[in-house]
Amino acid sequence: MAAEIREADAEQQQLLSELIERGMLVESGVPGVYGHSEAFGRVCDALERWLTAAGREAGAEVLRFPPLLPKVQLEKVGYLGNFPHLAGSVFSFEGDESQAAELAAHAAAHEDWSAALRQTDLTLVPAACYPVYPAIAARGPVPDEGVIIDVGPSWVFRHEPSFDPGRRQVFHMHELVHIGPSTTVLSWRNAWAERALALFIELGLNAWLAPASDPFFGRRGRMMAASQRAQELKLELLVSIAGPEPTACASFNHHLDHFSATFGLTLGADQPAHTACLGFGHERIVLALVRQHGYDLDAWPDQVRAILWPDEAR
């Protein structure tokens, strides 16, 4: 059975065709999975440099993780209860010769070959920050002032196929994570939201911040989303790219003690920690910039180029 594809409106589909025609995106045959041109990559790299420098300035420790997550970690944080529709799980073949032949025959005929597979210990990473919490918890208590981790631009997967170029199944999410005292984690999150808004405005984008919620699954999920929104646990940095709704290009999330309770993260001996994370979606930010300033990067306003490529002679 083919995956259900989310509707995209005419403007979003038009933008996708334009990006492909101009070579900025390279089609794979599956909606939401694209290659990039050099120009697209240049903007991603520039965003990357800016975020890495900002993280370093804020005293962040750099950690990098692969785009696969032990499935037990996804289970522990309750992801399958909250977002079963977005998760990607790794299944592999472990059968005998005749089963291998059957698998190959199904595959060669482009038929369903999932019956021959077994679940492995791995899932795809749905958000760059997920590997951080158990990794820091494994070190023991966190210093009293907390820690900031720069997880860099991880590839993340979400099963949401769409012909909206802003909605991918696999994309780069650069995250910074703060694990620290409940008194400072929220102000850290808020200060970063303001800082990111200022950056977007300097980049010439018509952006604004708004409380938001995650796409929790089902009826229970609607209640969780309403509570998340009411408590302003999630802020999104929005830009109109294409279509009737603005697009979230970055998010600023306060998790209270959700991850710290799950993984036993404490400050000092037994002070409870809170956590927050910032997630920047590179591909969406590139789309926002291209929509605002056009396809020719060399023709972008000097002020924008000076932020993205400060070392280039003008």
Binding site for ligand AMP (CB under 6 A): 127, 158, 160, 167-168, 171, 173, 248-251, 279, 281, 283-284
Mark 98-137 with x for binding to Zn ion (rule: CB under 5 A) and - for no binding.
-----------------------------x-x--------
Phi first, then psi: what are they for 256, rounded to 5°? 50, -125
Instruction: Judge contact between 92 and 118, C-beta under 8 A.
Output: yes
Residue 274 binds which of Zn ion, ligand AMP, none (CB < 5-8 A, kind-dependent): none
Q: Which residue is nearest to ligand AMP (CB)?
A: 281
Sign of the torsion formed by the C-alpha atoms of 231, 235, 240 and 242: negative
Instruction: Name the residue nearer to Zn ion (CB basis): 176 or 241.
Output: 176
Distance in angstroms (rounded) separating the CA atoms of residues 280 and 250 = 4
Residue 168 binds which of Zn ion, ligand AMP, none (CB < 5-8 A, kind-dependent): ligand AMP
Instruction: Name the residue nearer to ligand AMP (CB basis): 147 or 288.
Output: 288
Instruction: Name the residue nearer to ligand AMP (CB basis): 116 or 178.
Output: 178
Instruction: Name the residue nearer to ligand AMP (CB basis): 137 or 249.
Output: 249
Minimum CB separation of residue 164 from ligand AMP in Å reads 9
Residue 129 binds which of Zn ion, ligand AMP, none (CB < 5-8 A, kind-dependent): Zn ion
Angle at 31 between CA 47 and CA 101, to 5 degrees: 120
Angle at 309 between CA 306 and CA 312, to 5 degrees: 90
Write the secondary structure of 232-251 as one string of H (helix), E (strand) and C (coil): CCEEEEEECCCCCCCEEEEE
Contacts for 268 with CB less than 8 Å, ≥ 6 apart = 141, 143, 144
Minimum CB separation of residue 287 from ligand AMP in Å reads 9
Instruction: Name the residue nearer to ligand AMP (CB basis): 134 or 175.
Output: 175
Instruction: Name the residue nearer to Zn ion (CB basis): 34 or 130.
Output: 130
Mark 274-293 with x for binding to Zn ion (rule: CB under 5 A) and - for no binding.
---x----------------
Residue 288 binds which of ligand AMP, Zn ion, none (CB < 5-8 A, kind-dependent): none
Minimum CB separation of residue 37 from ligand AMP in Å reads 17
SS3 label, residue 155:
strand
Phi first, then psi: what are they for 146, rounded to 5°? 90, 180
Angle at 159 between CA 260 and CA 5, to 5 degrees: 150
Distances in whole angstroms, Cα of residue 174 to Cα of each of 44, 151, 196? 10, 7, 13
Instruction: Name the residue nearer to ligand AMP (CB basis): 116 or 207.
Output: 207
Q: How many other C-beta atoms lie within 10 A of the C-beta of residue 45?
A: 14
Residue 158 binds which of Zn ion, ligand AMP, none (CB < 5-8 A, kind-dependent): ligand AMP
Residue ranges binding Zn ion (CB under 5 A): 127, 129, 175, 277
